[in-house]
Amino acid sequence: MLFDSNSGQELVYFAEPITYKELKVFAMDGRLQWSVPLRDVVDSLGEVNGLTILHPDTMVFLSHYTGRTVYVDGKGNTVSQFVMARSRHTAHRAKRIVSRACTTSKSSPALGLS
């Protein structure tokens, strides 16, 4: 679930990375707000294990197994990606990096996880 601090609206998102390879975000009344193709993400990561939506145009996807992280824009294009050294703490490090990206972003994120 997401909260849009600009409109005060709660949103729900669903990702389907296997068949349709798409992320969809809906208002609580069921209206589709936006969708993002995930083909680049699935091709880069193989398997998606984590997602953080910083803004409708900035999403971060993570594969816990490979330590690979992919930043994607609102059109599903890969903006940047990196691989963290594998360890049992990879997921915790990734969450800290994403958290720092949220607080140091030049543009104020419109959405925050609730």
Among 56, 22, 57, 54, which residue's Cα sits nearest to residue 41? 22
Mean pLDDT across the chain, nearest whole number? 79
Q: Which residue has the tokens 């409109």?
A: 7
Give this prediction's pTM: 0.69
CATH number of the domain enclosing 45: 2.40.128
Distance CA 103, CA 50 (A): 19
In this prediction, residue 70 carries a pLDDT of: 92
Residue length of the chain: 114
Instruction: Give ∠ CA 13-19-21 in degrees, rounded to 5.
Output: 50
In this prediction, residue 50 carries a pLDDT of: 87
Over the stretch 55-77, which tens digit does the pLDDT of each residue have? 888 999 998 778 889 999 999 99
Say if residue 48's pLDDT is above 60: yes
Burial classification of residue 48, based on how many CB atoms lie within 10 Å of its CB (0-12 exposed, 13-18 middle, 19 or more buried) = buried
Structural domain count, the chain: 1
Q: Which domain holds residue 63?
A: 2-113
